[in-house]
Amino acid sequence: MSSTGEPPRLLGGRYHLEYVLGKGGMGVVYRARDLLHEQLGEACSPVALKLLGEPFAQCPDAHVLLFSEFALARSLRHPRVVRMFSFEVDTQSQIAFFTMEWLQGLTLDRLLLECPDGLPWRELQPMALQLLDALGYTHQQNVLHGDVKPANVMVGQEGVCLFDFGLGCAQAQVASLSSLSRSRFNAWTPAYAAPELREGGALSAAADVYGVACIIYELAHGKRLGKHAPMDRLTCPRQLPRRCWSALRVALATDPQQRTITVAELGRAMSCKRPRWYL
């Protein structure tokens, strides 16, 4: 990093940083031009490039945490999950970074600001099903996202896309790749983090279920659930069909032992498919 905290405009001899796309609890994501691809004939070759922000860039083992995010998500191949490209270290600045698919569209948190009364079911349902499909796929690949919230969901012309696995981990992970523990910084977003995570518990598939259920509730209600909302007083959101409410209510349970629904089961409930009693 320079004395101003800004990275050089050219990284890896090929990636020209254009502007900041977003900042998270740990990293900064830029839109960058891949000059090598442009020299080989591509008219425009944008990528998203993530590097560590201050003060994490100063930690001696922070680059390992950045690599762990890349390694976790690089094998995922799903149209609703961001694609990872490469992990590199700029030799001159010694800045570690990785490149990934540049997503066009609007993050879901910004979309929700424009919909204070929630989305109509005809718009909400396909969005919810696509998001559940993406999260269900990651769970099938034994990957936990860890930070399911509207700011980590892109909405574009081709649908939604889930990104930012910075707080994720493998379900069967025995030891972290990094000695920089995630518990050293408060990265959870309280409105979408499962209660057990806010209390210091371990990440689980049930925690991801809670996060995606909070998103669906907000899409249908227009307002956040709230981390202290009493479950016994929750009512079916105005934009949600009543036959979907029982499943969503289970997914919103504050006690993880009572959150007995999987992402796939929640997806089937949101599809509202009635059982066929004949062949």
Known binding site for ATP: residues?
Answer: 50
Query: What sections of 141-173 are H helices per DSSP?
Result: none
Q: Which helix (H) or strand (E) holds 272?
A: none
Q: What is the CA radius of gyration of the chain?
A: 20
Known binding-site positions: 50
In this structure, what DSSP letter does residue 279 have? -
In this structure, what DSSP letter does residue 270 have? H
**Residue from 85, 188, 107, 96 nearest 145 by CA:** 188
Interacting residues of 69 by C-beta distance below 8 A, sequence separation 6+: 50, 98, 165, 166, 168
